[in-house]
Structure 1
Amino acid sequence: MNEYRKDFPILNQEVNGHPLVYLDSAATSQKPVQVLEVVRKYYDFDNANVHRGVHTLGNRATDAYEGAREKVRKFINAKSTKEIIYTRGTTTSINTVASSYGRQNIQEGDEIVITYMEHHSNLIPWQQLAKEKKAVLKYIDLEEDGTISLETVKKTVTPKTKIVAMTMASNVLGTINPIKEVAAIAHENGAVMVVDAAQAAPHMKIDVQDLDCDFLAFSGHKMCAPTGIGILYGKQELLEKTEPIEFGGEMIDFVDLYDSTWKELPWKFEGGTPNIAGAIGLGAAIDYLTNIGMERIRQHEHDLVAYALSEMEKIEGIHIYGPKDPDKRCGLITFNLDGVHPHDLATVLDMRGIAIRAGHHCAQPLMKWLNVSATARASFYLYNNKEDIDALVEGLRAAKEYFNNVFE
């Protein structure tokens, strides 16, 4: 995979006098020149609003914008582009489901089921919806290794459950959840399945028809695309029955003084001028990832995680969270080092040119479950290699020695 590293110009720099080792792709990935050039080309030659005009630039922009939608459809194997809605990202996508479908369908006493491992983006919208509708918010207990048991899911989801919302891959534990099986349990009880795929879509093949999920959300910026663009997938029959939550231009069919009608799917959910360059960039990113192969990317990250786990576990005083089996986790490792606060650790590593993430990772309930206030996280992508992991391990050992000497 090292041949693809050259496509990311940002990696060819020094930080604090050291070669950059970027291990924060779970927060945002870097962008290859193939995506940057497509976005630049749009602004240089095709910059115009979509759908509204009949001039040449407008038509070219619309073709590229809607062409990217078809690429997304194919990427996740949706039945129709009517099921692909552009948003600002995973957060907006999940909030759209909660504020539109949720408000229309949740009643007092209904249950919404989520897990302790959810990112705040897939927790707070359901928390607020439950408060507003006087519904019951329930949590699926986690196993000791940070995985979920289908038996526990079956005990938690009941005929009163109307929504089950779950991450496909945890941004902290790395846990890959059995979405297809959970969706089947949800449907057996008459509930819909909402999937947060922010950490899954960039790293593994997704087939929404095989998963049989009802809604699925992901962000472009974690998968080599620009920031500010995301996707909400929804089954057409559910989206048809769901009212939009943003109103204005683009999403209307006919406006009278006292009433209005909406465009057909997917445009009724896309009010206002969209992030055209972002959508086109997302299409280019999908081309890039597809050309490499999602199975190949998944295997590469699996190998990196396996190697990183084996090397990091040799460090005395390290605590690694989530499944120990690399088959059960995505391309990230969250950990703590005895006697060193994660923020201090990240600062020391940054002085060696190594970029990791430190904090609660927008998952405070999970931090409470882990009985920690914060953790450090190293996350990998297609452009990382074993040399990056070696640098991380060396940096961790140096940090440990430094702080031991300081506090002796």
Structure 2
Amino acid sequence: MTTRPLAVARSAASVVTGRSASGWRLGVLYGPAVYGVSAAAVALPDAAEHLDVRGSGLAWLLSAYAAGVGVGAVTAGRLVDLRGSRPVLLTGAASLTVGALVCAVASTLPAVVIGRVLLAVGSGALMVTALAGVAQLAARRQKALAAFGACLAGFSATAPLAGAVAAYGSWRAAIVLPVLSLAAVPLCWSLTAGSRRIDRVDWLAAGLLAAVAAGLLLTVQTAAQQAAWEGTVIAAVATAAAAASLAVRHRSRPFGIPPRGILSAAWFWRAAITGAGVYAGLFAVLYAAPHLLSRQGHSTMSIGALLLPGAVIGAVLARLAARVARRPPAGRLLAGVNVLVAAALCYAAVDPRTLPVAAACTAAFTASAVAQILLTARTTDNAAVHARGGAIGLLTLATFLGGGCGAALCASLWQAWGPTVSLAAVAVLPAAWRRRSPADGTTCA
């Protein structure tokens, strides 16, 4: 009499456990991509010494990674929609490997930046593969999302110290830590699928999108550097031309890159602006913190240890955020993290000592981890199934492009005006985008 109920209960428990385990595996695939920012930032002072680079040029190690992740993510997202996630997983792993090898042997800043871009493209592809896998666990997505969020936040918590430990051996090791995602490829193989459709990929549109992302970063950096105005104008015109070409091609190819309907959706722009603002603050404080703390006598290892407690707080709150991802408090929580990171940046700008800088890093880790979980859930709920991968990739592009612009702006203003003005200027980005969503009545971006 009781055998069948017990069997059913055990079967249900195994399904939930399986989905939770899948969330952990996908989190391990995604997680090391965080090291490309947090861990690399800790090694910036050592990289500057060995590459003989000073000032804003060093910010390209972060901003180039941001642009590469974004472009890799949006292209990979559309490939997931058209070809399935398994080919994307393999391609991303190959790009990650090549990028790590280039960084390991490069002796100049441009060569290292090229390696970082290849590394980032691979990371972006694996990130989207992981996010798409989480989105497909629809029946018990809260469980999978919670496990994924906890794993992702755990990587965020260890990133500063991991970068410090790696930099103790070599700064090159610190900037290639995203290659650790390769260890999760066999674990996630069974969670991926092969070709689902035979539509051709619009590679020209992907190239135009890459040109727009790189041009925007270049325009922001040259303008903030107060360099020759001709360079800024050329970068801006080239970016505008690439954007116009992409828009024209997008009209004639509705199922290309990006998928039609995403860029015209209000929910997407609210999510993109929120993510871009939060990540601008994160990248800016990660650029500023090692410089400010090293001036106060902290070693690379102690910098990693100082940033670790704040990252742990972010890990805990990200785990809690997964529980409210589909409830009304989610929108208010997104608005709150925007205000939190803006206030922390202003605090560090006014008083750039050890405690305020560590507090700013705590706020940035917390805001980015919470925003990643909530925005992924919102994109999964609003995007059509056939365009979900493209939407997730496009959102990743927007957030990391915002982060790259934040790092470039902070580094450039730092040279002319110092840390106070640069951090205060970047604080405007997450603080300015707070509005009410007409769809759900909550403050979402």
* TM-score band, normalised by shorter chain: under 0.3
Tell me which of the two structures has the higher relative contact order, counting C-alpha pairs closer than 8 angstroms and 6 or more residues apart.
Answer: 2
Higher Cα radius of gyration: 1
Structure having the larger proportion of residues in strand: 1
TM-score (normalised: structure 1): 0.22
